Chain A
Amino acid sequence: MSMFARTALDQQNRRVEWLVKTLFLMMTVLLIVPVVLIMGILIQRGAPVLSWGFLTEVPTNGMTAGGIFTALIGTVWIVTVALIASVPIGVAAAVYLSEYAPDNWLTRAINLAIINLAGVPSIVHALFGLGAFVVFFGFGRSILAASLTLAVMTLPIVIVATRESLQAVPHAFREACWNMGATRWQTIRKVVLPNSISGILTGVILEVSRTAGETAPIMFTGAAAFLPFLPQGVLDQTMAMSLHLYVVSTQVPNVPEALPFGVALVLISMVLVMNATSIAFRVYLRNKRKW
């Protein structure tokens, strides 16, 4: 018998190895099934209503006909204002936590608060937004109130993503800068931030996807079921894609069957296009900087 012949133990290890690998592969395949199904059904049933007019016309006939223009633009408003509010706060907080904060009870309390904030259900955020922004700050039901509610809700995403990408920058780079007499801020600005920008961007894109899709928080704070015109400023109410989808799916009688699928398809496409853009941008940045 050759010295490399399989023993009984080798045989058993081989079987286990095969079993484990197959099992994990099946789990992974399982993962893509819902994605393929969702996209497939949406495209199959929603594609017929898609047209240039669907994107550029306002809803008519009690939302059973026409397009989704007002909702589309409304979502762009809400997402933009939410980003303007949350990205600077989130990035600044993450930079502080990663680069400045000493490891003490306050820092730990803040980290705990961030985790908890991420775990709060969106309906609770909705009620918080209603109480805080609509009533207390007196913004009324408006884009501003809705966006700020979404900003609070999505802050943990930006903070966690930013903090992790900052910490992925090797510590040796920081020490090298400090040793040349650079202050912490000079080090952050010249070395740390430029090398973590793609990770920060990932966080922002995740946030955009989440912001564009949330329904409950904006329903209470600034999104309207139907408005025949576009918002003129941040204190106006607006329609939004996510709420529009909810309304045409459940609240309005005699909606053509394909319409909600079309709305959902456009919403998902918006998010996918933004994701693709960010991936392209990240690849571009990664090719520019390496270590």
Chain B
Amino acid sequence: MVDVAPKLSVRDLTVRYGDKTALDGISLDVLPNEIFGIIGPANSGKTSFLRALNRMEEFDTNMTVEGEILFEGQDITAVRNVYALRRKVGVVFPLPVGLPMSIYENVAFAPKLAGIKKKAQLDEIVERCLTRAALWDEVKDRLNALGSLLSGGQQQRLTIARALSQDPELLLLDEFSIAVDPVTTMRIEDVLKELKDEITIVLVTNLVQQARRLADRTAFFLESELVEIAPTEDLFTGTVKDQRTRDYVEGRFG
């Protein structure tokens, strides 16, 4: 594991909103084709971590980011073309966002932005991404219906299909199952396990058991700091070093 070059290498990452510190000097590595879990209570900085990876501070004048984020060795905090960066990084938020356009257009949106114009090629991408997001069978007969009128679980799978449509190398998921029923959650989890072969996934979750089911390694964030990173199974066998991690995993606080 040590001799693999990390996909993502974060050094001394600090995120602030105004004078409030959301993330305080985090350093960690994410390896290629792993599912990297992040757990922690509310306000521990999990979401801020994802936002920094996608350079969302460009759109939030209040947000400042310090430190180094190396994506395949390249420091993205210095990347001028944030649009190219965001195309390589897919994001799924807690609440599903079906854009108010047709299901087809939702998924074809990013490829169109990337300059793909041929209908046949777009058709192929739409079908492939919806299939991978386990939604194709449910919507293939009504691709022209509004994406925003699908049920919550369907919209979340649509959101995942959309994130995949840009052919990302890194997929960031932020508590994706909050607004999704358990059956859909399981379906999406199966999708993620398959996707792992092709892309690297960072999974922020408030469900410790979800991290256990999916993540290869898991980081525990607490009060803007990284407490520790461990192979996920160690969290549950009590072999982690830090008492706070054990307490959180066993539900004694948070």
Given contacts A181-B114, A195-B100, A290-B146, contact A176 B83 (CB under 8 A): no
A291 in contact with B148 (CB, 8 Å): yes
Stretch at the interface among B86-94, B116-124, B235-243: B86-94
Known: A180-B86, A290-B100, A290-B149. A172 touches B93 (CB 8 A): yes
Residue A103 at the B interface, CB < 8 A? yes
Across the interface, which residues of A come within 8 angstroms of B84, CB to CB? 181
**Is the pair A182, B83 in contact by a Cβ cutoff of 8 Å?**
yes
Q: In the complex, what residues of A have CB within 8 A of residue B99's CB? A: 173, 176-177, 191
Given known A289-B146, A291-B98, contact A181–B110 (CB-CB < 8 A): yes
Which residue of B has the minimal Cβ distance to A195? B100
Are A291 and B113 also in contact (CB < 8 A) when A181-B83, A181-B84 are? no
Q: How far is the CA of A290 from the CA of B90 in the complex (A)?
A: 25
A190: Cβ under 8 A from any B Cβ = yes
Q: Does B97 contact A (CB under 8 A)?
A: yes
Q: CA of A111 to CA of B211 in the docked complex: distance in angstroms? A: 48
Give the total of B residues in contact with A, Cβ under 8 Å: 31
B113 contacts A102, CB within 8 Å?
Answer: no
Question: Which residue of the partner chain, among A176, A186, A289, contacts B97 with CB atoms under 8 Å?
Answer: A176
Instruction: Indicate whether B177 reaches chain A with its CB closer than 8 angstroms.
Output: no
Q: Does B253 reach chain A (CB closer than 8 Å)?
A: no
Chain A 166-197: CB-based contact to B (< 8 A → 1; otherwise 0)? 00000011111111111100100011001100
**In the bound complex, do residue A173 and residue B166 qualify as a contact, i.e. CB atoms below 8 Å apart?**
no
Q: Are B61 and A102 neighbours in the complex by a CB distance under 8 Å?
A: yes
B86–A173 contact, CB under 8 A? no
A190 to B113, CA, bound (A): 11
Residue of B83, B89, B97, B166 near A183 (CB, 8 A) is B83
Known A102-B61, A176-B159, A290-B146; contact A182-B113, beta-carbon cutoff 8 A? yes
Q: Which residue of B lies closest to A191 (CB)?
A: B99
Q: In whole angstroms, what is the CA distance A72 to B99 when docked?
A: 44
Measured CA separation A102–B58 after assembly (Å): 12
Q: Indicate whether B217 reaches chain A with its CB closer than 8 angstroms.
A: no
Within the complex, the shortest CB–CB distance from A246 to chain B, in Å, comes to: 46
A179 touching B109 by the CB < 8 A rule? no
The 8 Å CB contact of B100, one of A175, A178, A180, A289, is A289
How far apart sit A102 and B61, CA to CA, in the bound complex (Å)?
7
Contact of A179 among B54, B95, B146, B149 (CB under 8 A): B54
Residues in chain A near residue B113, CB distance under 8 A: 180-182, 186
Residues of chain A lying within 8 A (CB to CB) of residue B97: 172-173, 175-176
User: Which residues of chain A have C-beta atoms less than 8 A from B149's C-beta?
Assistant: 290-291
Instruction: Across the interface, name the chain B residue whose C-beta is closest to A103.
Output: B61
Assembled-state Cα–Cα distance A291/B163 (Å): 20
Contact status A180-B87, CB under 8 Å: yes
In the bound complex, how far is the Cα of B166 from the Cα of A186, in angstroms? 16
Interface residues of A in 143-187 (CB under 8 A from B): 172-183, 186
Query: What's the Cα separation between A191 and B110 when bound, in Å?
Result: 13
Q: Say whether B162 contacts A180, CB under 8 Å.
A: yes
- A181 and B148 contacting across the interface, CB-CB below 8 Å: no
Name the A residues within 8 Å of B85 (CB-CB). Answer: 181
Within 8 A of B (CB), among A266-291: 289-291
Q: Given A180-B163, A181-B86, 5 more contacts at CB 8 Å?
A: A176-B93, A176-B99, A179-B54, A180-B166, A291-B149
For the complex of A and B, the 5 pairs showing the least CB-CB separation, nearest first, are A291-B148, A181-B87, A181-B86, A180-B110, A179-B91
A sample of 14 cross-chain residue pairs with beta-carbon separation below 8 angstroms, ordered by A number, consists of A102-B61, A172-B93, A173-B99, A176-B99, A176-B159, A180-B110, A180-B163, A181-B85, A181-B110, A181-B114, A182-B83, A190-B101, A190-B109, A290-B100
